[in-house]
Amino acid sequence: MNPPWLAAPVLAGLVAVPLAAVLTAVCRRTAVRTGIVDRPGGHKAHAAPTPYLGGLAVAAATLAPALLLVARGPAPAAALLLAVAAAAVGTLGLIDDLAPLSVNTRLVVEAGAAGLVALAGHTVPVTGQHWLDVALTVAWIVLLTNSFNLLDNMDGAAAATAAVTAVLLGVAATGSGREALWWCLGGACVGFLWHNRPPARIFLGDAGSLFVGFLIATGTVVAAPDRSPGTLAVPLLLALIAVVDTALVVVARRRAGRSWRQGGADHTSHRLRLLGLSAAQVAAALATGAALCGGLALLVRAGQLPATAGLGIAALAGTTAVCLLLRVPTPTAPAAQRVR
């Protein structure tokens, strides 16, 4: 007997939790054995070499149970396209972990994957003009994908935020035939957190942060309602934590005369640490913020909160957060450091 339509994706997400925990342990041993590690130095906070490859475990634990479920669902082709595009972006990140790629190469591949998703009909209908909406959707997906890459700068920060956001996206996508992707992503991030919680024994690496960011980005597109300004409010609220962090570092580095691509201890997480929070408390604070913002997004999507109010809250909260966090002094990072 098949499980109820709501229970099946949730069950798949629960399966992803132990699967990710086991696969992460395997990837950790492999990374240590092969020397695929992130070495300390510069602005990096960890004191000992820490393995990469956590992203491989998250991707496998997300896609395996999700695809088994969506193959029997109402929209297998749409779900498969999203999965293949996310896997391609994750592979790009893995290559970058092993041999750093140029920014332009990364952006071209990410834009190509986002373009496939948008051309397949997954767009945010902002203007009503098809090609303009496709272009804006591609830009949004690429921006948010890299925002999660930037957010992955402290133990547990990106994974905790992604876990909460993915579950909310799974709720928002209920009935679309694609919701299992985000339920499984949420479960995989929870399982990965067992190894990534402070002090982390393994990192997502670019393979993981780009894979997670891409699926979160496409999820916000799927969740966007076909009406304005809710069309803008829902994706923005769902992604507000990552967007605020990116805006913060871009503004801070611009003011310091540095490129946004140059690493530094000036992210939201670093500033919260300087205010006295532990690494675990920072991850919890970001996850709580994601839950609150995502909850508002679901209210807007359900028509329980006016879309203009949701958009106003996102704009006000985001701007206020950036302005307040900019007041927290941070150490100056060497100009040549590259964002991991």
Instruction: Provide mean pLDDT across the span 55-73.
Output: 89
Banded pLDDT at 332 (limits 50, 70, 90): low
pLDDT, one tens digit per residue, over 235-262 is: 999 999 999 999 999 999 888 888 777 7
Stronger pLDDT, 73 or 278, i.e. the higher one: 278
- Angle of helix 157-172 versus helix 205-223 axis, rounded to 10: 30
Distance between CA atoms of 66 and 178, rounded to whole angstroms? 9
Look at residue 191 and tell me whether its pLDDT is greater than 50: yes
User: Residue type for 78, please?
Assistant: A
What percent of the chain is predicted at pLDDT more than 70? 91
DSSP H helical ranges for the chain: 7-34, 54-70, 76-98, 103-119, 130-151, 157-172, 179-196, 205-223, 230-238, 240-255, 268-274, 279-301, 307-326
What percent of the chain is predicted at pLDDT more than 90? 71
Q: Are 190 and 247 in contact (CB under 8 A)?
A: no
Q: What pLDDT is recorded for position 324?
A: 96
In the block, residue with structure tokens 């966090």: 325
Instruction: Provide mean pLDDT across the span 331-336.
Output: 46
Q: What pLDDT is recorded for position 185?
A: 98
Banded pLDDT at 337 (limits 50, 70, 90): very low
Give the 3-state secondary structure of 79-108: HHHHHHHHHHHHHHHHHHHHCCCCHHHHHH
Look at residue 4 and tell me whether its pLDDT is greater than 80: no
pLDDT, one tens digit per residue, over 13-46 is: 999 999 999 999 999 999 999 888 877 654 455 4
- Angle of helix 130-151 versus helix 157-172 axis, rounded to 10: 150
**What are the structure tokens assigned to 15, written together?**
């399966």
Stronger pLDDT, 135 or 70, i.e. the higher one: 135
- Angle of helix 157-172 versus helix 240-255 axis, rounded to 10: 140
Residue 195 CB-half CA count within 13 A:
29
Distance between CA atoms of 69 and 64, rounded to whole angstroms? 9
Which three-class secondary structure state does DSSP give residue 298? helix
Show me where the domains of the chain are located: 7-326
Banded pLDDT at 48 (limits 50, 70, 90): low
* Closest to 225 (Cα-Cα) out of 142, 127, 302, 130: 302
In the block, residue with structure tokens 């902002």: 126
Look at residue 336 and tell me whether its pLDDT is greater than 50: no
Residues 6+ apart with CB under 8 A from 198: 154, 155, 156, 278, 279, 280, 283
Q: What pLDDT is recorded for position 1?
A: 40
pLDDT, one tens digit per residue, over 318-328 is: 999 999 999 99
Instruction: Provide mean pLDDT across the span 275-302.
Output: 96
Instruction: Provide mean pLDDT across the span 109-132.
Output: 92
Dump the DSSP string for 240-285: HHHHHHHHHHHHHHHHTT--TTB--S-SHHHHHHHTT--HHHHHHH
Distance between CA atoms of 7 and 164, rounded to whole angstroms? 18
Instruction: Provide mean pLDDT across the span 215-239.
Output: 90
Distance between CA atoms of 333 and 322, rounded to whole angstroms? 19
Look at residue 5 and tell me whether its pLDDT is greater than 60: no
Q: What pLDDT is recorded for position 334?
A: 41
Q: Are 198 and 283 in contact (CB under 8 A)?
A: yes
Q: Are 197 and 280 in contact (CB under 8 A)?
A: yes
Q: What pLDDT is recorded for position 39?
A: 72
**What are the structure tokens assigned to 113, written together?**
């994957």
Q: What pLDDT is recorded for position 234?
A: 95
Distance between CA atoms of 146 and 41, rounded to whole angstroms? 22
Look at residue 144 and tell me whether its pLDDT is greater than 60: yes
Stronger pLDDT, 68 or 246, i.e. the higher one: 246
* Neighbour-count burial of 202, counting CB atoms closer than 10 A to its CB (0-12 exposed, 13-18 middle, 19+ buried): buried
Banded pLDDT at 340 (limits 50, 70, 90): very low
Look at residue 298 and tell me whether its pLDDT is greater than 60: yes
User: Average pLDDT of the chain?
Assistant: 89
Distance between CA atoms of 158 and 246, rounded to whole angstroms? 13
